[in-house]
Amino acid sequence: MSFPWAREYQPTNGLMKFFDEKLPLPRLVYNAVGAGYPVPRNLSYFWNFGVLAGFFLMVQIVTGVVLAMHYAANSEVAFFQVEHIMRDVNWGWLMRYAHANGAHFFFIVVYFHIFRGLFYSSYKAPREMIWLLGVVIFLLMMATAFMGYVLPWGQMSFWGAKVITGLFGAIPLVGEPLQVWLVGGYAPDNAALNRFFSLHFLLPFVILGVVILHVWALHIPGSSNPTGVEVKKESDTLPFHPYYTAKDGFGLGVALILYLGLVFFLPNILGHPDNYIEANPLATPAHILPEWYFFPFYAILRAFTVDFILSAKLWGVLAMFASILVWFFLPWLDKSPVRSGHYRPMFRKFFWFGLIPCMVVLFICGGAPAEEPYVMLSQIATAYYFLHFLVFLPLISSIEKPEPLPYSITEAVLGTDEDAKLPASDAAKA
Amino acid sequence: MIRIGGFLIGIGFTVVVLWSFAVGAYNFATEEKVGAAEYEFHKKPKDVSFEHDGAFGKWDTAQLQRGYQVYKEVCAACHSLKFVAFRDLADLGYNEDEVKALAAEWTVPGIDQDTGEAITRPGTPVDYFPSPYPNDIAAAAGNNNAIPPDLSLMTKARANGTAYVYSLLTGYGEPSEELKAKYPDFSTPPGLSFNEYFPNLNLAMAQPIVIDDQVTYADGTAATVDQMSKDVSAFLAWTAEPTLIERKQSGWPVLGFLLFATILAFFAKKQIWSAAKPKKAE
């Protein structure tokens, strides 16, 4: 489905005509990211991050497949194989640093993408399915990144794997046998490393599949926009190509400069030095930390320190999973008919002065050692996190008085819209 | 339904986590605060600079050669360098024959080609640096139960690693008066050495570089303790990442091209969007 004024694909030569008749792939591309996809004309640079996320997924798949050619998932040799890639494989260091930092940038752009979705309520009808698929992609990314971090078989690989797989042990009754079954032993070893490698290779292609569904679902209602007012007519939109291909091209250039700047000049800055020490089950690191992109969720996991009917550990596990699962219910928790945070005074205050500081505190506490004052701070932030999504957001949406919205995207961009002056019934026809 | 369920779950998590907070805050307020000497007196690595630092850095091959000599004559007694092969020494500015000669100075495990028995033989360029101990148990037994770590990746395995290695090597001494006054119970157990750059202040490694001229440099550089420590730190920066300079040098043309392409993309975007510029309503 698309808007009635969407341009139709016209094959310009015999070959394209042939394809269009037998397998209309050119038409598919034209309608997906070409001139056949009308997009709101007022998108800000916050709308660049979807394309960037797709780009970094491809970077990860390409560099990952090359790395897999030189890697060996065996706990005896994995650490050595990674060093073999770094030292002996032609451009191996580039592939590995591009892959490690590609994961960091994949998360950075996806966090911007989620931030955009939360501020502009991109999860609201008619875009619920896009949001739900997005949360699925994020969960798959977390699993993939976690397993990928285990593969170099350094100290943080091993101890991170031990802590995270240990979470299953918190489940009552079946916890411990389940954990042993999942890990393939009492602690992560060769069996775990092998299955993590297998899944780490598989999951990116599952992500790619869900991304295709995500983009498909996007093309049903079309893109959202900073005003949150739906597209009404042709003057509200521009064709994706050339307007947004050009804008995304520029955004991609900026992202690549930052990304490759890190790859070539500071490739280890976002990693942990302990992962250059080979895994040793007998030597526990002083602080076991996940990668930075898990810090907020790690802080929530560790915030529960006192048993309360259930064990503290189980509460932590439940809260950590709940902190992401709650996103699945956002379309139904936030009932405000206004999408954009720009027109929601109360929502905006809770967003900037509540949710954002809360996430910053959780991020800092997740990366800090488990001691005061970090534990107490993370407990307050965890409480706010759940209150924000489950209590405040529904309440705000029922009591808030939104600011007046522009009549249309055209009015928001041009300052006036002739149709706005027509009686409502005529405007609908126009 | 979703909102009522969400409300209850939200309140539930909040109550439980705030209960944890209350108990934690009560303990924090009532418990006596116990400081720790290693927390308070552990120092960050010293400021030290090397030729290979910075975006335009290059290896100082003379320094790497001296550092290799320090490793061979001092560190190698206890520490392995298992990810580095003799052939890699060509990076230090040695030619093929010199590498062969350097490799032959080391004894590596081998197999007698006639009888198949385990023997030792002189190293060849394809061999890796041999370990000073046959296994971890022997390494621990000879070193007060602490296994001397492999040094190949040491400067990447510590925060600010090259400076850390240099600081550790030059950081041996006695606990300061301040530390002794504040923590009278603090002591260095027999067999360990005090070093304020080591995380828990007491290090199993005795001071390895003790006196000036412990090594006689082939190039005539004065072998002070500071110079030897610096040279071997630079050498270990190379062993940790032999491709460091290649990496930085290949980064510049990549960034240069990207900058050019991004500027073009910016003007292309401007040009294309000028067609859609909002026209002021008359």
Per residue in A288-328, pLDDT (tens digit) is: 999 999 999 999 999 999 988 988 999 999 999 999 999 99
Residues A346 and A283 placed together within one structural domain of the fold: no
Residues A268 and A129 placed together within one structural domain of the fold: yes
Nearest to A416 among B258, B261, B281 (CB): B281
CA A311 from centroid of its chain's CA atoms: 31
Residues A165 and A176 placed together within one structural domain of the fold: yes
Residue B96 belongs to a domain: no
**Rounded distance between C-alpha atoms, residue B58 and residue B237, angstroms:** 12
Residue A29 has pLDDT above 50, yes or no: yes
Residue A428 belongs to a domain: no
* A residues 405-424 closer than 8 Å to B (CB): 413-416
Residue A221 pLDDT: 94
Q: Tell if the CB–CB gap between B243 and A277 is shorter than 8 Å.
A: no
Residues A106 and A251 placed together within one structural domain of the fold: yes
Q: Which two tokens stand for residue A86?
A: 């770094």
Whether chain B has a CB inside 8 Å of the CB on A371: the answer is no
Is residue B39 within 8 A of residue A320, CB to CB? The reply is: no
* A residues 14-43 closer than 8 Å to B (CB): 41
pLDDT over 90 percentage in chain A: 87
pLDDT tens column, A141-153 = 999 999 999 999 9
> Among A288, A304, A323, which residue terminates a domain?
A288
Residue A416 belongs to a domain: no
Residue A32 belongs to a domain: no
Q: Tell if the CB–CB gap between B156 and A390 is shorter than 8 Å.
A: no
Mean per-residue pLDDT, B6-18: 93
Nearest to B20 among A247, A379, A394 (CB): A379
Residue B33 pLDDT: 75
Residue A96 pLDDT: 97
pLDDT over 70 percentage in chain B: 98
The phi and psi torsions of A64 (rounded to 5 degrees) equal -65, -40
Q: Give the total residue count for chain B.
A: 282
Q: How far is CA A67 from CA A84, A143, B160, in A?
A: 11, 19, 27
Residues A55 and A146 placed together within one structural domain of the fold: yes
Q: Tell if the CB–CB gap between B6 and A390 is shorter than 8 Å.
A: yes
Residues A312 and A274 placed together within one structural domain of the fold: no
Residues A225 and A348 placed together within one structural domain of the fold: no
Q: Give the domain extent around A391.
A: 290-399
Residue B44 belongs to a domain: yes
> Among A288, A314, A346, which residue terminates a domain?
A288
Residue B137 belongs to a domain: yes
Q: What is the ipTM of this complex?
A: 0.93
Residue A25 belongs to a domain: no
Q: Give the domain extent around B215.
A: 38-84+129-245
Number of domains in chain B: 1
**B200 vs A218 pLDDT, higher one:** A218
Residue B279 pLDDT: 59
**Dihedral-angle region of residue A334 (phi above 0 means left; psi in -120 to 50 means alpha; beta otherwise):** beta
Residue A365 has pLDDT above 50, yes or no: yes
Whether chain B has a CB inside 8 Å of the CB on A372: the answer is yes
Residue A430 has pLDDT above 50, yes or no: no
Residues A309 and A275 placed together within one structural domain of the fold: no
Q: Among all residues of chain B, which has the CA nearest to that of A327?
A: B6
Beta bridge partners of A40: A237
Mean per-residue pLDDT, A405-423: 83
Q: Note if the pTM is more than 0.90.
A: yes
pLDDT tens column, A237-254 = 999 999 999 999 999 999
Mean per-residue pLDDT, A374-397: 95
> Among A257, A288, A319, which residue terminates a domain?
A288
Residues A188 and A296 placed together within one structural domain of the fold: no
Residues A72 and A207 placed together within one structural domain of the fold: yes
Residues A179 and A312 placed together within one structural domain of the fold: no
Whether chain B has a CB inside 8 Å of the CB on A112: the answer is no
Q: Tell if the CB–CB gap between A250 and B269 is shorter than 8 Å.
A: yes
**Closest C-alpha to B201, from B185, B218, B212:** B185
Mutate to test the interface with B, among A39, A43, A268, A276 (most CBs of B within 10 A): A276
How many helices (H) and strands (E) are present in chain A, helices listed first? 19, 2
Q: Tell if the CB–CB gap between B159 and A261 is shorter than 8 Å.
A: no
What integer best gives the mean pLDDT of chain B? 92
**Rounded distance between C-alpha atoms, residue B145 and residue A267, angstroms:** 35
* A residues 324-363 closer than 8 Å to B (CB): 326, 329, 332-333, 335
Residue A425 pLDDT: 53
pLDDT tens column, B213-237 = 999 998 889 999 999 999 999 999 9
Contacts of A375 in chain B (CB under 8 A): 24
Contacts of A273 in chain B (CB under 8 A): 156-159, 161
**B1 vs A229 pLDDT, higher one:** A229
Whether chain B has a CB inside 8 Å of the CB on A77: the answer is no
Measured from the Cβ of residue B163, the count of other Cβ atoms closer than 10 Å reads 22
Q: Tell if the CB–CB gap between B17 and A254 is shorter than 8 Å.
A: no
Q: Please list the active-site residues of A.
A: 219, 223, 247-248, 291
pLDDT tens column, B133-192 = 999 999 998 888 889 999 999 999 999 999 999 999 999 998 888 888 888 888 888 888
Number of domains in chain A: 2
Find the CATH number of the domain harbouring A139. Answer: 1.20.810.10
Find the CATH number of the domain harbouring B228. Answer: 1.10.760.10
Is residue A222 within 8 A of residue A231, CB to CB? The reply is: yes
Coil, helix or strand at residue A287: coil
Contacts of B28 in chain A (CB under 8 A): 372-373, 376
DSSP string of B92-140, one letter each residue: GT--HHHHHHHHHTSEEEEE-TTT--EEEEE--TTSBPPPSSSSHHHHH
**Rounded distance between C-alpha atoms, residue A139 and residue A116, angstroms:** 18
Q: Among all residues of chain B, which has the CA nearest to that of A325?
A: B6
CA A124 from centroid of its chain's CA atoms: 18
Alpha helices by DSSP H, A224-373? 245-265, 295-303, 312-325, 330-333, 345-350, 356-367
**Rounded distance between C-alpha atoms, residue B114 and residue B117, angstroms:** 8
Residue B282 pLDDT: 43
Contacts of B24 in chain A (CB under 8 A): 305-306, 372, 375-376, 379
